[in-house]
Amino acid sequence: MQNFKENLINAIEKIEKARIAVDRHRIVRLVAVSKYSTTQEIQALYECGQRAFGENKVQDLTQKANTLESLPLEWHFIGNLQSNKINALLKLKPFMFHSLHSLELAKQLQKRLEQEHIYLKTLLQINSAKESTKSGVMPEEAIEIYYQILEECPNVKLCGLMSIGAHSTDCNLIQKSFETTRALFEKLQNFGANTLSMGMSGDFELAIRCGSNCVRLGSTLFK
């Protein structure tokens, strides 16, 4: 646990280097993915200054957010949301939901949000390398679906896109998948899209060079 401060400083240094090399006016948000970490470890990273944390299971988020209730943390939900978990997620009032994967899920969310008179900031997940193992909308249908959600689901506050880089050891393929998402993001900038969530421990510098302004880092911080 004593390495956390060093891990965080190293990560921030790399993020800063990458972003200043491409666009010094861009701010890059760092979400610490705590899905394999304990509440004690989250607290240790909090004490190093980190505030935004991401979880991929509603049950884990519930348990950790409740345990750490007294800390001013910003929770991000980055996992596959099953419709029977919508109520539990909304109860936690997460800061942002990164992994909206379909119009159907948006409509289910809209129904609940409307009943509660609340809003949820969300990102549309893009399956940028068209992998059967990943969820998200296909790049060619993304714009249409984005518009439909904007129109039909006003309480689902769409504010950008999220994607996981291609599952590959070939940097060119990963880069291509990030560029696909970035091109879509640029088309949506006149429609309120301001967040492009791309990049994990193995590929966040590349993601930033490809336009990301939000990286989700787990293993490199909590090692």
Ligand X SMILES: *Cc1c(COP(=O)(O)O)cnc(C)c1O
Residues that bind ligand X (CB under 6 A): 33, 35, 56, 78, 164, 200-202, 216-220
| Closer Cβ to ligand X, 31 or 145, answer by number | 31
Cβ distance to ligand X smaller for residue 79 or 155: 79
Nearer to ligand X, 129 or 155 (CB): 129
What minimum distance in Å lies between the beta carbon of 39 and ligand X? 17
Which residue in the shown chain puts its C-beta closest to ligand X?
Answer: 218
User: In whole angstroms, how close is the CB of 79 to ligand X at the nearest point?
Assistant: 6
Specify the residue, 88 or 200, whose C-beta has the smaller distance to ligand X: 200
Q: Which helix H or strand E contains 58, and what residues bound it?
A: helix 58-67
How far apart are CB 112 and ligand X at their closest, in Å?
Answer: 23
Q: How far is CA 190 from the centre of its chain?
A: 21
Cβ distance 31 to 47 under 8 Å?
A: no
| CB of 120 or CB of 221, closer to ligand X | 221
Per-residue CA distances from 64 to 1, 73, 130 (Å): 18, 11, 33
Residue bearing tokens 């490809």 = 210
C-alpha to C-alpha distances, 101 to 45, 85, 89, 93, 117, nearest whole angstrom: 30, 15, 16, 19, 23
Which of 168/201 has CB closer to ligand X?
Answer: 201
- Which element (helix H / strand E) includes 18? helix 4-22
Closest distance of CB 122 from ligand X, Å: 14
CA pair distance 95, 53, nearest whole angstrom: 10
d(CA 108, CA 126): 19
> Rounded to the nearest whole angstrom, what is the least distance from the CB of residue 131 to ligand X in the complex?
13
Q: Which is nearer to ligand X, 155 or 158 (CB)?
A: 158
Q: 181: which 2 tokens? A: 């998402």
Smallest gap from Cβ 223 to ligand X, in A, equals 9
Minimal distance, residue 98 CB to ligand X, in Å: 7
Closest CA to 220 of 7, 5, 3: 7
Element containing residue 152 per DSSP (H, E): helix 139-152
